[in-house]
């Protein structure tokens, strides 16, 4: 290895004591400065300069000390230790510049300014902002946690909570994603505060639609407050009722987003007032409640009684007494049109009667009456029953109606008729001029059956287990031909049948198509909502169809070997036990099942849980494909034989 050229420096005239040198290392292409035998500075061939290191990795690499820049008595230091890295200056302020302008300034008190050289608080940001998501933004806080609901950037606020200077988080504000759906950036803003002994908890939220929730994270309205005992307080700063008004205002918008008409609920001079101010008009007090005695005034701000109703032209509501009782009467301006609610004294029967009189025609008539004996009359003053409703003659209108105007699933209309015992009956009678009971809807509580009577006789009932019986009272025996004529719909499929219709003279079921019909189906059979067969009719015929469309089928192959299978069928002649005088041709179901299983239902010698036989059945139309294929095979053989005979004869 060649010795690098070296320029030595000595501190005596003889040059025998070397104090420093400048050298060039040809192996590493570096130039260095040494002092007292220690490397001070190195410059390599890439232009990197090292102070305190012989292998600089940057344009200026300082090792083992701090970097000091001095100008006119102002020093700036850059230093790093085993635990800290920092920049500091001996004078203030300290600025960070870009493009010749101060962008960040740290003042003498430690205040930091971004975009300002005179920060007045610990951190002050000032700029024209940047548009992000349509907002003019000065500070952006971003959470890089993986996407999920309730994830987003936040800001915490903390301070000392002990005399020893220990810090704790007191509150926070957090932006969050409202849902876990990728691509959906609906966001909300949540506000947190902290109770002693617990972590910060959400207290208020503004959701993506602008609704504000206090005590709830899912507000359904513009403002929703949820608490075990929610109280909303509006309090003026004055002391006493006469020093300022606490007001809740409900307003409409006027033109160009101005204030339109509005209602005020206002606490004013010991009165709770309900005011209305029309758009561009003056205020009117519609109702007032006196805080000292609870008196309520409608149209009157100084009510003299518990309720006082006034009109500017005439009293239109009167609460009074007479020799016969107490009354409340509503009158028109001319005192001839209105109604009267009356509590009447009188005989034992009518004493303490409650009467609503109709005064619209100028003469009183009882529109509604609750008599002392408990009878209630509507449009009659002498009710003969607990509820007696009378309708005057005239055009056909409803005498009574039960109506619920709601449209939700839970908005029901109901009429309840109930007895205290369990063996009586509940009845609705339908009467006319000939009979007061010509029709009845009758509930037998003893047997829990609902029974309908028409023209004095039972025509239909629903039994306690849900069976519907028409023309019969029990349906017993209809399954074996011994019961009464009629129809039974059995909710539990009694004796394996859900619907039975029986009579001995006419058709049990009559299905008819109206002239000009467009759909030929008389019966449609379905499984799980899909049609599997129909009975169709025409003007002269009936067809029994099972589903057979090619679009319903797969794995379709030609039927082969039909002749050998057909030969396995064993046709028989027999009579049915129930009809000994009639001999027919047919098959035994279990024998045919071995050859064409799809033609037979049930299992050979099957019985139910009670030991009763469950009979097999056969659909002989299912044999047609086998017969057709066998016939085609026979025809093919015949044609082949005919061809051979013809060839021999020629």
Strand 123-125 and strand 112-114: pairing?
parallel
In degrees, to the nearest 5, what angle opens at C-alpha 145 toward C-alphas 144 and 149? 120
The model's confidence at residue 620, banded by pLDDT at 50, 70 and 90, is very high
> How confident is the model over 76-80, as a mean pLDDT?
80
Kindly list the domain boundaries of the chain, sorted by start residue. 6-103, 171-226, 560-650
Rounded to 5 degrees, φ, ψ at 231 are -135, 125
> How confident is the model over 374-391, as a mean pLDDT?
83
Distance CA 156, CA 192 (A): 9
Distance CA 89, CA 520 (A): 101
Q: What are the tokens at 463?
A: 């039994």
Distance CA 327, CA 344 (A): 9
Residue with the larger pLDDT of the pair 74 and 479: 74
Q: What is the per-residue pLDDT for 477?
A: 62
Distance CA 57, CA 48 (A): 7
Q: How many CA atoms lie within 13 A of 107 on its CB side?
A: 14
Q: What single DSSP character describes residue 613?
A: B
Q: What is the per-residue pLDDT for 494?
A: 56
Per-residue pLDDT tens over the stretch 242-296: 566 788 888 888 888 888 888 888 887 778 888 888 888 888 888 888 888 888 8
Of the candidates 392, 393, 375, 397, the one whose C-alpha atom is nearest the C-alpha of residue 384 is 375
Q: Given the structure tokens 């050859």, which residue do they identify?
A: 595
Distance CA 367, CA 378 (A): 6
SS3 state at 595: helix
Q: What is the per-residue pLDDT for 381?
A: 79
Per-residue pLDDT tens over the stretch 81-140: 778 877 878 777 888 888 888 888 888 888 888 888 888 888 888 888 778 887 877 788
Is the peptide bond preceding residue 93 cis, with omega within 30 degrees of 0?
A: yes
Q: How many other β-carbons are positioned within 10 Å of the β-carbon of residue 30?
A: 20
Q: What is the per-residue pLDDT for 159?
A: 92
pLDDT mean across residues, the chain:
83
The model's confidence at residue 625, banded by pLDDT at 50, 70 and 90, is very high
Q: What is the per-residue pLDDT for 4?
A: 63
The model's confidence at residue 166, banded by pLDDT at 50, 70 and 90, is very high
User: What is the sign of the dihedral through the CA atoms of 614, 619, 622 and 623?
Assistant: positive
Mark 411-441 as b/e (b = at least 16 C-beta within 10 Å). eeeeeeeeeeeeeeeeeeeeeeeeeeeebbe
pLDDT higher than 60, residue 319? no
Distance CA 213, CA 194 (A): 18
SS3 state at 61: strand
Q: What is the per-residue pLDDT for 318?
A: 54
Q: What is the per-residue pLDDT for 418?
A: 87
Per-residue pLDDT tens over the stretch 42-51: 888 888 888 8
Q: What is the per-residue pLDDT for 361?
A: 64
Of the candidates 461, 463, 458, the one whose C-alpha atom is nearest the C-alpha of residue 439 is 458
Q: What is the per-residue pLDDT for 583?
A: 96
> How confident is the model over 63-82, as a mean pLDDT?
78
Sheet holding 223-225, edge to edge: 154-160, 167-177, 187-193, 201-206, 212-214, 223-225
| Cross-strand bridge partners of residue 32 | 23, 42
pTM score, whole prediction: 0.43
Distance CA 365, CA 72 (A): 110
Q: What is the 3-state secondary structure (H, E, C) of 354-412?
A: EEEEECCCCCCEEEEEECCCCCEEECCCCCCCCEEECCCCCCCCCCCCCCCCCCCCCCC
Of 269-278, 313-322, 402-411, give the lowest mean pLDDT range.
313-322
Per-residue pLDDT tens over the stretch 450-463: 999 999 888 888 88
> How confident is the model over 514-529, as a mean pLDDT?
89
The model's confidence at residue 72, banded by pLDDT at 50, 70 and 90, is confident
Cα-Cα end-to-end distance for the chain: 120
Q: What is the per-residue pLDDT for 115?
A: 84
pLDDT higher than 60, residue 315? no
Give the whole-number percent of the chain exceeding pLDDT 70: 86
In degrees, to the nearest 5, what angle opens at C-alpha 66 toward C-alphas 64 and 72? 150
> How confident is the model over 214-235, as a mean pLDDT?
90
Per-residue pLDDT tens over the stretch 538-585: 888 999 898 888 998 899 999 999 999 999 999 999 999 989 999 999
Mark 137-176 as b/e (b = at least 16 C-beta within 10 Å). eeeeeeeeeeeeeebbeeeeeeeeeeeeeeeeeeebebbb
> How confident is the model over 213-226, as a mean pLDDT?
92
Q: What is the per-residue pLDDT for 323?
A: 57
Q: What is the per-residue pLDDT for 326?
A: 63
List all residues 6 or more positions away from 143 whose beta carbon is below 8 Å from its beta carbon.
Answer: 151, 152, 153, 154
Q: What is the per-residue pLDDT for 267?
A: 85
pLDDT higher than 80, residue 645? yes
Give the whole-number percent of the chain exceeding pLDDT 90: 30
Q: Given the structure tokens 């024998």, which residue do they identify?
A: 591
pLDDT higher than 80, residue 646? yes
Q: What is the 3-state secondary structure (H, E, C) of 299-325?
A: CCCCCCCCEEECCCCCCCEEEEEECCE
pLDDT higher than 60, residue 241? no
Of 40-49, 483-492, 622-631, give the lowest mean pLDDT range.
483-492
Please tell me which of 135-139, 206-210, 233-237, 421-425 the model is most confident about, judged by mean pLDDT: 206-210
Of 50-54, 139-143, 357-361, give the lowest mean pLDDT range.
357-361
> How confident is the model over 414-428, as a mean pLDDT?
88
The model's confidence at residue 224, banded by pLDDT at 50, 70 and 90, is very high
Q: How many other β-carbons are positioned within 10 Å of the β-carbon of residue 460?
A: 17
Of 176-180, 336-340, 404-408, 561-565, give the lowest mean pLDDT range.
336-340
SS3 state at 523: strand
Q: What is the per-residue pLDDT for 17?
A: 62
Q: Given the structure tokens 């050979």, which residue do they identify?
A: 604
Q: What is the per-residue pLDDT for 603?
A: 95
Distance CA 383, CA 436 (A): 17
SS3 state at 127: coil
Mark 560-570 as b/e (b = at least 16 C-beta within 10 Å). eebeeebeebe
The model's confidence at residue 337, banded by pLDDT at 50, 70 and 90, is low
SS3 state at 629: helix
Q: What are the tokens at 578?
A: 């129930």
């Amino acid at each position: 290895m060649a010795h690098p050229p070296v320029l030595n420096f000595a501190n005596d005239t003889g040059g025998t004591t070397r104090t420093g040198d400048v050298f060039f290392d040809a192996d590493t292409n570096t130039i260095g400065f040494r002092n007292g035998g220690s490397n001070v500075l190195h410059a390599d061939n890439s232009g990197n300069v090292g102070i305190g290191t012989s292998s600089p990795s940057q344009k200026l690499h300082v090792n083992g000390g701090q970097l000091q820049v001095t100008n006119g008595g102002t020093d700036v230091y850059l230093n790093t230790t085993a635990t800290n890295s920092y920049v500091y200056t001996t004078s203030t302020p300290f600025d960070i510049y870009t493009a010749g302008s101060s962008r960040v300034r740290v003042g003498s008190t430690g205040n930091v300014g971004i975009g300002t050289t005179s920060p007045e608080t610990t951190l002050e940001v000032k700029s024209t902002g940047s548009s992000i998501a349509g907002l003019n933004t000065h500070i952006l806080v971003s959470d890089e946690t993986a996407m999920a609901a309730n994830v987003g950037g936040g800001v915490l606020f903390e301070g000392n909570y002990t005399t020893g200077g220990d810090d704790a988080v007191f509150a926070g504000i957090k932006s969050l994603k409202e849902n876990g759906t990728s691509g959906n950036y609906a966001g909300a803003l949540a506000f947190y505060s902290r109770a002693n002994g617990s972590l910060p908890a959400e207290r208020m939220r503004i959701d993506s639609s602008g609704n504000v929730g206090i005590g709830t994270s899912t507000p359904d309205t513009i403002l929703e407050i949820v608490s075990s005992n929610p109280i909303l307080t509006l309090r003026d700063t004055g002391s006493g009722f006469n020093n300022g008004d606490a007001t809740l205002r409900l307003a409409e918008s006027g033109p160009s987003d101005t204030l339109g008409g509005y209602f005020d609920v206002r606490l004013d001079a010991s009165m709770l007032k309900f005011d209305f101010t029309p758009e561009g008009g003056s205020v009117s007090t519609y109702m007032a409640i006196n805080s000292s005695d609870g008196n309520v005034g409608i149209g009157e701000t100084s009510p003299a009684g518990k309720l006082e109703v006034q009109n500017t032209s005439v009293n239109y509501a009167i609460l009074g007494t007479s020799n016969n009782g107490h009354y409340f009467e509503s009158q028109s301006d001319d005192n001839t049109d209105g109604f009267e609610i009356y509590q009447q004294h009188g005989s034992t029967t009518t004493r303490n009667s409650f009467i609503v009189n109709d005064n619209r025609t100028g003469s009183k008539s009882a529109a509604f009456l609750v008599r002392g004996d408990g009878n209630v009359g509507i449009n009659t003053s002498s009710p003969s029953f607990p509820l007696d409703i009378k309708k005057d003659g005239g055009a056909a209108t409803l005498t009574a109606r039960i109506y619920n105007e709601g449209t939700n699933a839970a908005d029901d209309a109901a009429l309840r008729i109930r007895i205290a015992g369990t063996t009586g009956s509940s009845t609705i009678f339908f009467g006319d001029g000939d009979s007061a009971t010509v029709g009845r809807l009758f509930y037998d509580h003893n047997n829990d059956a609902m029974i309908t009577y028409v023209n004095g006789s039972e025509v239909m009932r629903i039994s306690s287990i849900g069976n519907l019986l028409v023309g019969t009272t029990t349906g017993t025996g209809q399954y074996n031909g011994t019961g009464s004529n009629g129809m039974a719909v059995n909710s539990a499929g009694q004796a394996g049948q859900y619907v039975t219709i029986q009579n001995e003279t006419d058709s049990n079921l009559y299905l008819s198509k109206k002239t000009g019909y467009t759909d030929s189906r008389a019966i449609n059979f379905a499984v799980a909502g899909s049609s599997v067969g129909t009975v169709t009719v025409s003007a002269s015929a009936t067809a029994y169809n099972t589903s057979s469309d090619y679009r319903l089928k797969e794995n379709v192959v030609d039927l082969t070997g039909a002749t050998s299978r057909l030969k396995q069928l064993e046709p028989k002649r027999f009579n049915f036990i129930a009809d000994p005088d009639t001999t027919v041709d047919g098959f035994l179901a279990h024998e045919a099942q071995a050859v064409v299983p799809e033609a037979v239902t049930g299992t050979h010698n099957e019985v139910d849980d009670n030991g009763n036989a469950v009979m097999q059945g056969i659909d002989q139309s299912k044999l047609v494909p086998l017969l057709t294929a066998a016939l085609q095979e026979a025809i093919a053989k015949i044609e082949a034989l005919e061809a051979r005979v013809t060839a021999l004869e020629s």
